[in-house]
Amino acid sequence: MQTMMETVRSVAPLAAEHAARHDRDGTFVIEAYTALRDSGYLAAPVPVDLGGAGATVRQVAEAQAELARSCGSTALASAMHLHVVLASAYRHRRGDDAVAGMLKRVAAEQLVVASTGVGDFTTPTADATPVEGGWRVSGRKRFVSGAPIAQVASTWAATPDGEAIGFGLPLSAEGVTIEETWDAHGMRGTASHDVVLDDVFVTEGQVNARRRLGGYAPVHAVIAVNAFPVITAVYVGVARSLRDAAVAAARRDRPLGLVEQHLLTAEALLERMLVVADGDPDPAEAVVAEVMLLKRACNEQLLRLVDAAWDAVGGSAFSAGSVLDRATRDLRAASLHPLDPDATLELAASQAKRVASAAA
């Protein structure tokens, strides 16, 4: 069986071949995504005892960064499946049986799972009303990357008693509609459409997580340590493709040094995120604060890299359709993943005060 990196290197030419067309037309990166699924790549993080390869956050992140050099949209769309699998594998390692069924299906059936985490990370964008045997759920989920190929959405809903319930929702269920809303500035091939839930019945057996609304919950750390290093790695990979394009087209040397400086700094910040993930840390609020702050700092470097690359290339960077153009637009999406930059600083400040208070 191929390693994740070997699979990426075999699929990368296919991803690159179609990247410009999907970016231009705003269509889903179906060719490369299907190749990844059929190869077993999307099941790699499933624990070995459940039929997978037990790939770590680091292994996934490194492979996704390499994939992003060929097509950022393919890497980001697949990352939204992979981070759900990674987080579920983390829970399984800690004795949580609620996710075992989904993990087995990912390994055995090549099940594709979409994340609805943009809004749901803090406040779920759907409401759940209790009924006999489960819940009736209604709401709108935005930015559901890979919606055309996913079979299940990993999502959340708010209950009347101030709780959030997490569950796997078949996208074929009655009351579920995919609205093709995605027409974005960058990452145009991810097909991050809206998924609308209209009085969808969710059984109690589908619910696999619960947390109180408002403030920190341990699940935030589980998501942070498994999702955001992988997502950030995608943007670092895109930045590497931008650096390569700038080197090929640059008119002068001095700004290229700045491009390399910002890339190396971003890579160092990503490495620190992976060190945190390598430890399979306990789900503490301090972990969320550290990962979010590292993500924010990394994103700052990536945007500075864009400016330096354009300075180096000059007017030709303004031409549409190039790798430099596509990478520039794709990198703008990095700051849209939660937490946003201001909320990250607020969380980091709050955590710093707690640490200082405890040390006093």
> Residues with Cβ < 8 Å from 115, sequence gap 6 or more?
80, 81, 83, 84, 144, 145, 153, 154, 227
Residue 214: per-residue pLDDT:
85
Half-sphere exposure for 198 (CA within 13 Å, toward CB): 9
> Residues with Cβ < 8 Å from 135, sequence gap 6 or more?
128, 129, 157, 159, 165, 201, 202, 204, 207
Please tell me the CATH code under which domain 115-212 is placed.
2.40.110.10
Q: What is the mean pLDDT of the chain?
A: 95
Question: Which has the minimum average pLDDT: 82-86, 106-110, 253-257, 350-354?
Answer: 253-257
Give the integer Cα–Cα distance in Å for 6 and 226. 22
> What are the pLDDT digits (tens) for 22-74?
999 999 999 999 999 999 999 999 999 999 999 999 999 999 999 999 999 99
Architecture of the CATH domain 218-359: Up-down Bundle (1.20)
pTM over 0.95: yes
> Residues with Cβ < 8 Å from 200, sequence gap 6 or more?
136, 137, 138, 169, 173, 174, 175, 176
> What are the pLDDT digits (tens) for 195-246?
999 999 999 999 999 999 988 899 999 999 999 999 999 999 999 999 999 9
User: How many CB atoms are closer than 10 A to CB 274?
Assistant: 20
Residue 121: per-residue pLDDT:
87
Question: Residue range 167-172: average pLDDT?
Answer: 98
Residue 360: per-residue pLDDT:
76
Residue ranges of alpha helices (H) inside 48-71 are 57-68
User: Is 262:156 a contact under the CB 8 Å cutoff?
Assistant: no
Q: Please, what is the Cα angle at 244 between 243 and 248, to 5 degrees?
A: 115
Residue 253 pLDDT grade (very low, low, confident, very high; cuts 50, 70, 90): low
Give the integer Cα–Cα distance in Å for 143 and 181. 9
Give the single-character DSSP code of 340. P
Q: Hey, what are 256's tokens?
A: 């290229």
Correct CATH for 4-111 of 1.10.357.10, 1.10.540.10, 2.60.200.20, 1.10.730.10? 1.10.540.10
Same fold, 4-111 and 115-212: no
> What are the pLDDT digits (tens) for 142-164?
999 999 999 999 999 999 999 99
Sequence ranges of the domains in the chain: 4-111, 115-212, 218-359
Give the integer Cα–Cα distance in Å for 58 and 227. 11
Q: Given a cut of 70, is residue 119 above it in pLDDT?
A: yes
Q: Given a cut of 90, is residue 117 above it in pLDDT?
A: no
Half-sphere exposure for 187 (CA within 13 Å, toward CB): 29
Residue 122: per-residue pLDDT:
86
